[in-house]
Amino acid sequence: MPSVPPLRGSFRTDVRARAAYSEGAGVYRVVPVGVALPVDEVDLRVLLQWAVGSRQSAESHQPLVLRGAGSAMGGGNVGEGIVVDLTAMTERECDVDAIGREVITSARVTLGEIEQAAEPFGLRLPPDPSSARWATVGGAFSTNASGPRTLRYGSMRPWAQGATVMMADGERLVLRRGEVASGRAAARFESEVAPVIRAMAPVIRERFPHTRKNSSGYALDAWLESGDLLDLFIGAEGTLGVVTEVTWRLDPIPAFRSGLQVEVSSLDRIAETIRALTATGPSVCELLDRSFLDVVRSGAAGGSVIVPDADAVLLLEYEEDSATALEAAVARGVSAAQAAGGHPVRPSSAEEEAAIWTLRHAASPILARLPLTQRSMQVVEDGCVPVKCLAEYLQLLRDAAARRDLPIILFGHAGDGHVHANLLPDTTRPGWTDAVASLLEEVSAGVIALGGTPSGEHGDGRLRAGLVERVYGAEITELFRLVKKCFDPLGILNPGVILPAVPDASPLSNLKVGVGAAPIPDDIAAGLRQIEREGGYATPRLDLA
């Protein structure tokens, strides 16, 4: 196998380039052995064939770590192999079919660019991850991304209509919803794997988390329902093939929208309040926990953000096609909130409307100003439980953090029972990593016991790969291995993501902070920190090198 793949794009093995790709969003720093930036599908095929190497020698296979903007939280965008930056591919297709309400996009296109292209036609891709400004189509497809509007419109899955995927052996697999896929990989799956999955259908339906959102494992449940091979690749985190193009279904933009803020005095009735509110048809129902409100209150400058005195706040958005329908929907929300014991605050002006969503985003600049000794760490940031269990889960997070004296901020997508938790440990405090590790274990066990999933919308990555068998059990995990082996028999695509590469490995090894962090040049470490603090994930990493 040649030491350097014959790419037209860049291939770097120098220390600075490798350091620039050692981090993504999330908690890890892993310095790769090299960095590849293919320029098109031809280049990508060359890279894959180089990585496969000689089929006679297992030692010649080179793991590839596939990556878009690097904003995924679970650590699937870093690794010890060759990091493949797919944002350098020159294809930048974003073609809107306004009549058919579809858009064809190359994998490097961002969700924000789809919005810009579709909006003039009165259309949009409804799922709205907070990372839409920089998150690429390939990443959103590969994690089955979602966001606040998932409550009404679902995750990326129902909006993906087709995809082109480059397999590990260089085969180009074309998938289209409702159509039978052809080719070697599809035939192998249908003959060797599909019958086994179908035979296990009752176990799959029983063991998969019964939550509104789940981005853990491979979507065997979705495949059983649709029969579309496309559904197995959505959310597969690049472990089965390299997504190069996606076709999305678009939806008309509602003409009228309005927000509603509901203050909740106690967690005791929050599940009841959420159920009552979601029955009124909002597209968004967001949660700001007391911990979130306290941070905003302590960091708000000059009283510019009004913080309610409540145990939690729910933020709702209603979207309708007429002013009359919108008025009726918001009125139903106000009545439901009052009946459930909440205190609704309805905006009466554009300024008050803006203030509602200013509160939702007010913590971000405060967290960006944290001292160098304190880091926002997303280790239990993606748990999703049945809505009826939300109060119990929030209390578990609060108590687990308090017992370890770990500051925590809780917020998320209340209507889906989905909570984001940011730990803020002092990284100079002795024993902080042990405290974080024990909290991760306690909370993970708790979310599984509640019938939830530790991976609501961000995927398993490396962080939660070790939890997959605990969530699904040994039988279904073996099915996941069968799916992986079918499409990536040599295991070169994102090894260690979804399925752990090393059994019982610590999920908190290779942290980007602390005394054990891998050494990288100081200026590159500072640049990566700046990207993290400011959400600068659109920054080409080689600019740092």
CATH number of the structural domain spanning residue 270: 3.30.70.2190
Residue 60: pLDDT band by 50, 70, 90 thresholds?
Answer: low
Q: Is residue 227 part of a domain?
A: yes
Answer yes or no: do 116 and 200 share one domain.
yes
Domain boundary among 252, 267, 302: 252
Of all residues in the chain, what percent carry a pLDDT higher than 90?
81
CA separation, residue 477 to residues 217, 253, 492 (Å): 8, 40, 19
Report phi then psi at 344, rounded to 5.
-80, 140
Answer yes or no: do 272 and 285 share one domain.
yes
CA separation, residue 150 to residues 6, 20, 128, 138, 322 (Å): 43, 33, 8, 19, 22
Is the model's pLDDT at 57 over the cut of 60?
no
Continuous H helices in 182-278? 184-188, 194-199, 201-207, 220-226, 230-233, 270-278
Answer yes or no: do 184 and 264 share one domain.
no
Cα(272)–Cα(72) distance, integer angstroms: 32
Answer yes or no: do 106 and 240 share one domain.
yes
Q: Is residue 475 part of a domain?
A: no
- pLDDT at position 319, please? 96
Q: Is residue 137 part of a domain?
A: yes
Is the model's pLDDT at 524 over the cut of 70?
yes
Domain boundary among 229, 252, 275: 252
- pLDDT at position 303, please? 53
Cα(104)–Cα(244) distance, integer angstroms: 11
Is the model's pLDDT at 542 over the cut of 70?
yes
Tens of pLDDT, residue by residue over 349-372, are 888 888 888 888 877 777 777 777
Q: Is residue 28 part of a domain?
A: yes
Assign residue 535 the CATH number of its domain. 3.30.43.10
Amino acid letter, residue 323: A
Q: What is the mean pLDDT of residues 387-416?
A: 95
Assign residue 395 the CATH number of its domain. 3.30.70.2740
Residue 59: pLDDT band by 50, 70, 90 thresholds?
Answer: low
Q: Is residue 165 part of a domain?
A: yes
Q: Is residue 19 part of a domain?
A: yes
Tell me the residue range of the domain where 53 lies: 10-87+511-539
Q: Is residue 338 part of a domain?
A: yes
Answer yes or no: do 122 and 80 share one domain.
no
**Sheet of strand 102-106: strand arrangement:** 94-97, 102-106, 242-249, 160-166, 172-176
**Does residue 136 sit in helix, strand or coil?**
strand
Answer yes or no: do 218 and 124 share one domain.
yes
Is the model's pLDDT at 30 over the cut of 90?
yes
Q: Domain count of the chain? A: 4
Q: pLDDT averaged over the chain? A: 92
Answer yes or no: do 235 and 107 share one domain.
yes
Cα(21)–Cα(14) distance, integer angstroms: 11
Residues found in the chain: 545
Tens of pLDDT, residue by residue over 159-202, are 999 999 999 999 999 999 999 999 999 999 999 999 999 999 99
Assign residue 204 the CATH number of its domain. 3.30.465.10
| Max Cα–Cα distance, the chain, nearest Å | 71
Of all residues in the chain, what percent carry a pLDDT higher than 70?
97
Answer yes or no: do 199 and 245 share one domain.
yes
400 close to 445: Cβ distance less than 8 angstroms:
no
- Give the β-pairing of 10-12 and 34-37: antiparallel
Q: What is the mean pLDDT of residues 8-35?
A: 96
* Residue 430 in tokens: 């002795």
